[in-house]
Structures are given as structure tokens and as C-alpha cells.
A = this chain, B = another copy of it.
């Protein structure tokens, strides 16, 4: 049940923000009432943290699935990037959710730590992927760390931009976004006949 509540919280927070959802709504979404919710969580804040953990796990699960059985460094990097774009940029709900994390993290040190931990692990993962791809000669970067930092910043910037210009993250733009981010990571320019 706590996992179901966390999932419900995530779903509703991603739609209306942390302050836009009350606990009765979350409980109802999970099929129980607020009293039951309080049996499992001590406060709304605790539930927010659980919703964040839910999101981080979901992202990690997607990456693991995308990389299962993939050994080629360049392919691993590209798959990771595609999942990230699909999950973090194309999905409006997830964009809204992470924006709520940022805004609330200003005043909540634990939330901030949680995000930073997540962000750092994502970043280190990318750095490792880029380095492996560079050794394999698939990408060319002077400094893997800097390229990853720039790529992640660009992703965050796109996310922000999409909040008021949702069309830049429409399905028809996905491939363009992926290509732009790949370029930052040092992938060679796309060829007309390259493998999708």
C-alpha cells in the first residue's frame, strides 16, 4: 500500500504540483481514505519524498531495461540518451514533477539532497558512457565531464522552455532533440542512411 500511495502521489503531483493536490485526493486515487494514508506516512512532506523516490526508481528501471543486453558503448550511450529524452523531456507530467522538486528543494534540504544524489548518479553514469564511447572511437570530446555537464544543462534548459512552449517537446521534435544532444556529446553528425 505505501508503494501505491507513493505512485498515486507522484501521478497527481505531476499533474497539479505539490500544493495543488490535497491528501484526500491522493488517498482516493490509491483507493483508500486519508486515515489510512496517515497510517503509512507521517506527513505530506514524507509522502512527497516517497513520490520523488518513486520517480527516481522509475527512471532507473527504464534505463536498466533499455540497456539490457546492450554492450556496444555507443549504443549504450544513445539508448540512455533516448530514454532520458523520452522520460524527462517528452513527458509533460515528468517535466512538471521535476519542476516542483526544484522549487520545493529551495526550502527543503532533504529534497535537495535526494535530487542531487539522483542527478550526480545520472551524471556519473553519462560520463562513464561517454568515456567508453570515446575509447571505442564512436564519439569525440575533449573533456567528457564538460560535455556531459553541457548536455545535462541543455536538457534542463529544454525542459524549462517546454513548460511554456510545449510544442518544442512534441513527438515530431523528439528526434531533433536527441540529435542535438548527441552532437553535444560528440557523436558524429547523422548520415542519411544511418541505422535508426
Contact = CB atoms under 8 A, between A and B. Distances in A.
B102 A106 contact: no
Chain A: interface residue count, which band?
20 to 34
Count of identical protomers in the assembly: 2
24 contacts: A16-B107, A17-B106, A20-B107, A96-B106, A100-B103, A102-B103, A103-B103, A105-B163, A105-B164, A112-B163, A112-B164, A116-B165, A119-B161, A119-B164, A152-B157, A153-B154, A153-B157, A153-B161, A154-B157, A155-B157, A156-B157, A156-B161, A157-B157, A160-B160
A150 interface: yes
A145 to B, nearest CB: 13
A158 interface: yes
Interface of A: 16-17, 19-20, 96, 99-100, 102-103, 105-107, 112, 115-116, 119, 150, 152-158, 160-161, 163-165
A163 B102 contact: yes
A160 B156 CA distance: 7
